[in-house]
Amino acid sequence: MNYSQAGEYLSSFIDYEKIPGGSYASPDYSLKHVEELLHRMGDPHLAARTIHIAGTKGKGSIAAMIAQVLTISGYKTGLYTSPHLHSLRERIRVDGHLISEGEFAALTAKAKPYFEAINAIAANQSSECNEEQAEQACQQLTFFEALTALAFAYFKNKGTDFQVLEVGLGGRFDATNVANPEVCIITPISLDHTDILGNSLREIAFEKAGIIKPGSLVVLSPQPEEVNSAINDVCHKQGAKLVRVGRDVTWHGISSDLHHQSLVIDGRMGNHHLTIPLLGDYQLENAAVAVAALETLASLGYGISTEDIARGFAQVKWPGRFQILHYQPVVLVDGAHNVASIKRLIENIKAYFSYGQIFLIIGSSCDKDIPGMVKELASLSPRVMVTHSSHPRAASPSTVATAFLNWNIKAKVTNTVAQALSQSLSLASATDLICVTGSLFIVAEALDYFSEG
DSSP 203-262: HHHHHHGGGPPTT-EEEE----HHHHHHHHHHHHHHT-EEEEBTTTBEEEEEEE-SS-EE
pLDDT in tens, 259-312: 999 999 999 989 999 999 999 999 999 999 999 999 999 999 999 999 999 999
- Predicted confidence (pLDDT) at residue 162 exceeds the cutoff of 50: yes
> Which pLDDT value is given to residue 261?
97
Amino acid at position 208, single letter: K
Structural domains for the chain: 3-315 (3.40.1190.10), 323-452 (3.90.190.20)
Q: What element of type H or E holds 297?
A: helix 281-299
Average pLDDT over residues 199-213: 89
Residue 84's φ and ψ, nearest 5 degrees, are -100, 160
136 or 73, which is more confident? 73
DSSP label of 320: T
> Which pLDDT value is given to residue 132?
47
Q: Where are the beta strands (DSSP E) in 380-440?
A: 383-386, 412-413, 433-437
Work out the pLDDT band at 366, boundaries 50, 70, 90.
confident
DSSP label of 172: T
| Helices 370-378/397-405 angle, 10° precision | 50
Distance between CA 80 and CA 162 in Å, rounded? 11
Average pLDDT over residues 397-415: 94
| Helices 339-352/370-378 angle, 10° precision | 20
- Predicted confidence (pLDDT) at residue 94 exceeds the cutoff of 60: yes
Is residue 449 within 8 Å of residue 418, measured between CB atoms? yes
Work out the pLDDT band at 99, boundaries 50, 70, 90.
very high
Maximum distance among all alpha carbons in the chain?
69
Pick from 84, 196, 91: which is nearest to 147 by CA? 91
Average pLDDT over residues 138-162: 95
pLDDT in tens, 33-55: 999 999 999 999 999 999 999 99
> Which pLDDT value is given to residue 306?
96
> Which pLDDT value is given to residue 126?
46
pTM attached to this predicted model: 0.91
> Which pLDDT value is given to residue 195?
52
Average pLDDT over residues 177-204: 82
Taking the CB of residue 158, how many other CB atoms lie within 10 A of it?
18
Work out the pLDDT band at 368, boundaries 50, 70, 90.
confident
Q: Which residues of 65-89 are buried (b: 16+ CB within 10 A; e: fewer)?
A: bbbbbbbbbebbbbbbbbbebeebb
- Predicted confidence (pLDDT) at residue 223 exceeds the cutoff of 80: yes
Q: What value, to the nearest 5°, has the Cα angle with vertex 357 and ends 353 and 363?
A: 90
Distance between CA 45 and CA 117 in Å, rounded? 19
Instruction: Please state, rounded to an integer, the average pLDDT across all residues of the chain.
Output: 91
Distance between first and last Cα of the chain: 33
> Which pLDDT value is given to residue 391?
84
Q: Where are the beta strands (DSSP E) in 150-199?
A: 162-166, 181-186
- Predicted confidence (pLDDT) at residue 401 exceeds the cutoff of 70: yes
Average pLDDT over residues 323-349: 94
> Which pLDDT value is given to residue 23?
52
> Which pLDDT value is given to residue 134?
45
Q: What value, to the nearest 5°, has the Cα angle with vertex 174 and ends 172 and 180?
A: 75
Give the three-state DSSP class for 353: coil
